Structure 1
Amino acid sequence: MQNTKRAFTMIELIFVIVVIGILASIAMPKLWVTRTDAIISKGRAEVSTIRSAIATAHQKNMMEGNNSYLSTLDDGTTLFGKILDYGMPSDTSPGHWSKSGSHYVYHIDYDTNATFEYNATTGRFDCISGSCTTLTH
């Protein structure tokens, strides 16, 4: 009986590695786009939640006989702490909020932002610059 070894040849191994490399080069850009889409969806949900919380706080004030909107949305330690159960820490990385003066900035990517402004007179939380259509439509 002949003693034969069954194993992959070097050519077969190189071929498999090349195929895996090609598949990875196709998949990575799609995964990056998926991450950005998730950050945009998160931002849209947060904008909607913030607007709803402003309306809820105003309704609560009206029930107490005060027809005005909140003068600020922050509680001093977190962003939106006066209207949300759990305020948001200020962070400039993608998918987070920060505050610049009186404006709130949502960071979509390291170079793409949307800037929002809260008007305490009207209770509106509107996008005023940046990628507004990405987050509000």
Structure 2
Amino acid sequence: MNTKRFGFTMIELVFVIVVLGILAAVAIPRFAATRDDAQIAKGRSDISAIRAAIVSERQTRLLQGDTRYISQLHSSTSSLFDGNGSSHLLQYGISVGNENGHWNSPTCTGANPNVCTYDYTVMGQNVTFTYSQADGNFSCSRSGSTAEMCKKLID
């Protein structure tokens, strides 16, 4: 009589499927959190680069005897933070997109066309950043519905 088995029983297969299901249930939420953390890290990196570029542009202007901050942070709506046409803030501008982890097209309103707001979309929320030409400040509001996300991006 031959006593060798050449396959798995149904109980063994069901057990393996249950274990794989448990592992997947634990791993999938962790991957989603990792994607959100990556979007926040990208936003923090972009903001740091933009702020450093504003300061660098200001120092260049001071050496030339011009005490003003750069008037606007973009020259087109397809590539942001590429300067105002006469100078370049970032060597390569940041492309515009409407999905998570991207900057949206700027909104320039009011009597002064150089007052623009920039939205960064993260975790389905648009966090609005405003550039102030008066003091070179590029920041978001720490009040309202996006205050917590603003803190994550700039603190």
TM over 0.5: yes
1:107 is matched with 121
Q: What is the CA distance between 1:75 and its match in structure 2?
A: 2.3
1:89 is matched with 95
Q: What is the CA distance between 1:68 and its match in structure 2?
A: 0.8
Q: What is the CA distance between 1:89 and its match in structure 2?
A: 1.3
1:122 aligns with 2:153: no
**Any gaps of 5 or more consecutive residues in structure 2?**
84-88, 108-115
Mapped partners of 1:26, 1:4: distance in 2: 37
Write the letter of the residue equivalent to 2:101.
G
Moved over 3 A (4+): none
- Please report the RMSD computed on the Cα atoms of aligned residues, expressed in angstroms: 1.6
Mapped partners of 1:56, 1:5: distance in 2: 73
Quick check: 1:93–1:109 contact (8 Å CA) kept in 2?
Answer: no
Equivalent residues in 2 for 1:48-87, closer than 5 Å: 48-76=48-76, 77-82=78-83, 83-87=89-93
Q: How many residues align?
A: 136
**Any gaps of 5 or more consecutive residues in structure 1?**
none
Q: TM-score with structure 2 length normalisation? A: 0.81
Q: TM-score with structure 1 length normalisation? A: 0.91
Write the letter of the residue equivalent to 1:119.
S
List per-residue Cα deviations over 1:1-34 (Å, max 9, x = no partner).
7373421112211110111011101111111111
